[in-house]
Chains A and B, each alone.
Chain A
Amino acid sequence: MGPMLKKDLLVFWRDRKEILMALLLPIGIIAILSFVLSGMFDSEESPVNVDAALVIEDSQDSGVEHFANQVEESQLSESERERLLMQASQFNPTTMLEEFLNHPDLSDWLNIEKMNKEEATEKIKAGELHAAVYIPSGFTASFLAEVLLDESSEATIQVLAEETSTERSTLGSIVGSYVESMNLQLAVQQLGQTEMVEPQLPEGGTEHVAGSDSDPFNIVQYFTLAIGSLFALFISQTVATKTIAEKREQVFNRILLTNYPPIYFLLGKIASAFVFVWLQLVITILVIQMFFDVFPNASAEFWLGLLLAITGLALAVGGLTGIFTSLTLKMNDPDAINGIATVIIMTFGALGGGFFPIMFLPNFLQHIGIWTPNGKFLVSILEWVQQPALEDLTAPLLYFVGFFLVSLVIALVMFPRRGRNE
Chain B
Amino acid sequence: MLETVKLSKTFKNIKAVDEIDLYLNRGESVGLLGPNGAGKSTTISMISSLMKPTSGDVLLNGKSTIKDPSEIRKVLGVVPQEIALYEELSAYENLKFFGEVYSVDKKRLEERIQYTLEMVGLKERQKGLIKTFSGGMKRRVNIAAALLHEPEILILDEPTVGIDPQSRNHILETVKRLNEEQGTTVLYTSHYMEEVEQLCDRVYIVDHGKLVASGTINELLSILSSEDTIQIQLSQTTDSLIEKVSAIDHVLRVDETKEGIRVISKKGSNLLSQIVQIAESEDLQIVHFEVEVPSLEDVFLHLTGKTLRD
- Give the interface of A toward B (CB within 8 A): 2-4, 6-7, 10-11, 14-15, 248-251, 253-260, 418, 420-422
Contacts and interface: CB of A to CB of B under 8 A. Distances in A.
B73 A257 contact: yes
A11 B86 CA distance: 8
B74 interface: yes
Interface in B187-241: none
B80 A255 contact: no
Interface stretch (B99-107, B174-182, B263-271): B99-107
Given A3-B100, A257-B49, A421-B51, A250 B84 contact: yes
A10 B49 contact: no
7 contacts: A3-B100, A7-B89, A250-B80, A250-B84, A254-B145, A421-B45, A421-B50
Given A14-B88, A251-B86, A421-B52, A3 B80 contact: no
Given A10-B89, A420-B50, A420-B51, A257 B97 contact: no
Contacts of A260: 101-103
Given A255-B101, A421-B52, 12 more contacts: A4-B101, A7-B86, A14-B89, A14-B129, A249-B82, A251-B86, A254-B78, A254-B98, A254-B145, A255-B98, A260-B103, A420-B50
A15 B87 CA distance: 10
Nearest to A252: B84
Interface string B277-289: 0000000000000
B74 A259 contact: yes
A253 B97 contact: no
Contact of A253 (B50, B86, B88): B50
Contacts of A258: 73, 98, 101-103, 149
A422 B9 CA distance: 10
A257 B50 contact: yes
Nearest to A264: B101
B85 A257 contact: no
Nearest to A259: B73
Interface of B: 45, 48-52, 69-70, 73-74, 76, 78, 80-86, 88-89, 93, 97-98, 100-103, 129, 145, 149
A7 B48 contact: no
Sorted nearest first, the 5 A-B pairs with minimum C-beta distance are A14-B88, A3-B100, A250-B84, A260-B101, A254-B84
Contact of B101 (A3, A11, A418, A421): A3
A220 to B, nearest CB: 36
A2 B102 CA distance: 13
A298 B81 CA distance: 57
A6 B96 CA distance: 11
B97 A256 contact: no
Given A258-B101, A420-B49, A421-B52, A251 B85 contact: yes
A253 B84 contact: yes
Contacts of A249: 82-85
A258 B49 CA distance: 11
Contacts of B101: 3-4, 255, 258, 260
A7 B50 contact: no
Contacts of B145: 254
Contacts of B102: 258-260
Contacts of B98: 254-255, 258
A311 B93 CA distance: 29
Contact of B76 (A4, A251, A255, A257): A257
Contacts of B74: 259
A362 B184 CA distance: 69
B97 A7 contact: yes
Nearest to B79: A254
A11 B80 contact: no
A12 B102 CA distance: 23
B84 A3 contact: no
A2 B49 CA distance: 25
Contact of A257 (B78, B83, B103): B78
A10 B102 CA distance: 19
A2 B103 CA distance: 12
A400 B48 CA distance: 41
A248 B98 CA distance: 17
Contact of B97 (A3, A14, A422): A3
Contacts of B100: 2-3
A154 to B, nearest CB: 86
Nearest to A418: B69
Contacts of B103: 258-260
A17 to B, nearest CB: 11
B88 A11 contact: yes
A248 B82 CA distance: 9
Contacts of A4: 101
Nearest to B96: A3
A10 B85 CA distance: 13
Nearest to A14: B88
B84 A251 contact: yes
A257 B48 contact: yes
Contacts of A420: 49-52, 69
Contacts of B93: 10
B48 A422 contact: no
Contacts of B129: 14
B269 to A, nearest CB: 51
